[in-house]
Amino acid sequence: MDLSVLLAAHIDAARRQDPLQQPLLNWAEGDTIVQLLETLARLLSEEPLGELADELAEKLRTRLGHPPGYDPARIAAAVTDHLSRRLGVELS
């Protein structure tokens, strides 16, 4: 647990620094880190490090937002088109 205390101290110190102006990760890399943090949070759910991992995952997920090219209208249109072709009926 010495590692977790050291990690928590570094993260706490980083909270007091100004945010980076330019991101260090692309969206896919950030999403992978979020997934790793969420897994760590589940595995250590009873530990302070698990709570910290969950908090960091949530903050990073919020900062990442949707993936590049995310367009709900385009997604809905593609699903409707696919269902129309599969069912052989015109969906509006």
pLDDT at residue 4 tops 80: no
pLDDT at residue 37 tops 90: yes
> What percentage of residues in the chain have a pLDDT greater than 90?
49
pLDDT at residue 36 tops 90: yes
Cα 92 to Cα 83: distance, rounded to the nearest angstrom: 11
pTM score, two decimals?
0.62
- Angstrom CA distances, 82 to 72, 87, 90, 91, stand at 15, 9, 11, 10
Burial class (CB in 10 A: 0-12, 13-18, 19+), 37: buried
Give the pLDDT band of residue 1 (cuts 50, 70, 90): low
